[in-house]
Chains A and B, each alone.
Chain A
Amino acid sequence: MKVFSTTNTDLHAISAELEASLPGNPTFILYFHSTSFDADLVAASLAGIFPGVPALGCSTSGEIVTGKMLNGGLVVAGFEADEIPRAEVVTIEGDDVKGAFAALESRFEQVDFSTHVGLILMDGLSGKEETLMESLSDSTDLTFLGGSAGDDLKFAKTYVAANGRLVKGPGAMALLYVPAGFDLIKTQSFSTTGVTLTPTLVDHQARAVLEFDGKPAAQAYADAVGVASVADAPNAFMTNPLGLMADDEPFVRSPQRIDGDKLHFYCSVHEGMELEVLKGQNIVEDTEEALSMFQYRSLIAFNCILRTLDLKNQGKTEAFGKLFTQPTIGLSTYGEAYLGHINQTATMLALH
């Protein structure tokens, strides 16, 4: 992987440098950009520079590139044939993610769990991520990871592009042939507290819990995290989300807001699904430890915007960016994708 990054929004002025920075004959282009850039123009420009090369990209709420985090930037990765000999990119038409996967799979003579990996980028404001990811996970046992496009926290419009064009549906997907193999690195920088909350009344559509263990949800959460009142509970959202535990690994469900007795989340929860109250750890140290356990040549990182905001609050974005010593491209997302729609993780694809 070779990467290019800039905060100069004049695409005409940067096109020569961009082209020179990336491989001459890339097999796959992946890119992420701030809404400071014209999404349509970025997609078209990259297709103009690399005609016919499969390309996937989306808007962000912050970008990641080798050695640093950016704001208001454009990051582009070009992959060469020795790393990714083959890539295919399709859009998701309507909400038919199964159809999109079938189209992708049909373009390969053979797909293998250990050498083929998928990427998925979704409209971060569609609210369809759970449905799409559940449907995709039902369809295949291949690893798919990705994230929800951002829009610099404007919450107005996000953009996903495939093969030089903005997509009109909820997202786009790529399937990559990685003969050397890959690892999925998912870290959430939380530990468990031993305190559990079980939703007993849920508004699934609204991603809201009305009751935990038969008690009003907002009060039950406030009690569980030990704040003085419901009004103080939002102060604990960032550091004390809830986790659906898969063995020892939490799938984080992040609280979003309180509405009366209800507690709204950034992703859905089910009735009867036991959730652990989590406690925040040092994001930089935890991510460094997670990365140190793997050997890889390049990295694609989907980092939750809530983690990025926490890093900004603590003045740690520079330290976090420096963790990415190998060629890296990534973004701050409105949610990460792995088996389902998840929050407050760094979900990363490490290519061997």
Chain B
Amino acid sequence: MAGQIHAAIQKIIVTRGKGNRVIENGTKTKLLLKGINASKWTSMSPDDPVMMSKVKQAAFELGVSI
């Protein structure tokens, strides 16, 4: 499998942003400060379990179900 990390990150950004581009960008920066660089992950990226765990934790902290 590939792309699950990208999909999870995008869900966090879209859910939190609620269609507001400024909030979406802010969410990307919040993820970056948590050590998750959204721009580095694509739909082809391998599903690294360590990073997936980090993304799940970030989703929990940001109140997003993934």
Asked if residues B29 and A251 are in contact (CB atoms below 8 Å), the reply is yes
Asked if residues A272 and B35 are in contact (CB atoms below 8 Å), the reply is yes
Q: Give residues in A with beta carbon < 8 Å to B.
A: 113, 134, 137-138, 141, 244, 246-247, 251, 270-274, 339-340
In-complex Cβ contact of A271 among B30, B33, B35, B62 (8 A): B35
Asked if residues A113 and B29 are in contact (CB atoms below 8 Å), the reply is no
Q: Give residues in B with beta carbon < 8 Å to A.
A: 16, 20, 22-23, 26-30, 32-35, 37, 39, 61-63
Closest residue to B62 on the A side, CB-wise?
A: A138
Q: Report chain A residues within 8 Å CB of B27.
A: 141
Q: Report chain B residues within 8 Å CB of A270.
A: 34-35
Q: Report chain B residues within 8 Å CB of A113.
A: 20, 22-23
Asked if residues A134 and B34 are in contact (CB atoms below 8 Å), the reply is yes
Total A-B residue contacts, Cβ distance less than 8 Å: 41
On whether A339 and B30 interact (CB within 8 A), knowing A141-B16, A270-B35, the answer reads yes
* Cα separation A270 to B36 with both chains bound (whole Å): 9
Closest residue to A139 on the B side, CB-wise?
A: B63
Asked if residues B35 and A273 are in contact (CB atoms below 8 Å), the reply is yes
Q: Report chain A residues within 8 Å CB of B39.
A: 247
Closest residue to A143 on the B side, CB-wise?
A: B26
Asked if residues A138 and B63 are in contact (CB atoms below 8 Å), the reply is yes
Q: Report chain A residues within 8 Å CB of B28.
A: 246
Closest residue to B58 on the A side, CB-wise?
A: A138
* Of A141, A274, A340, most B-chain CB atoms within 10 Å: A141
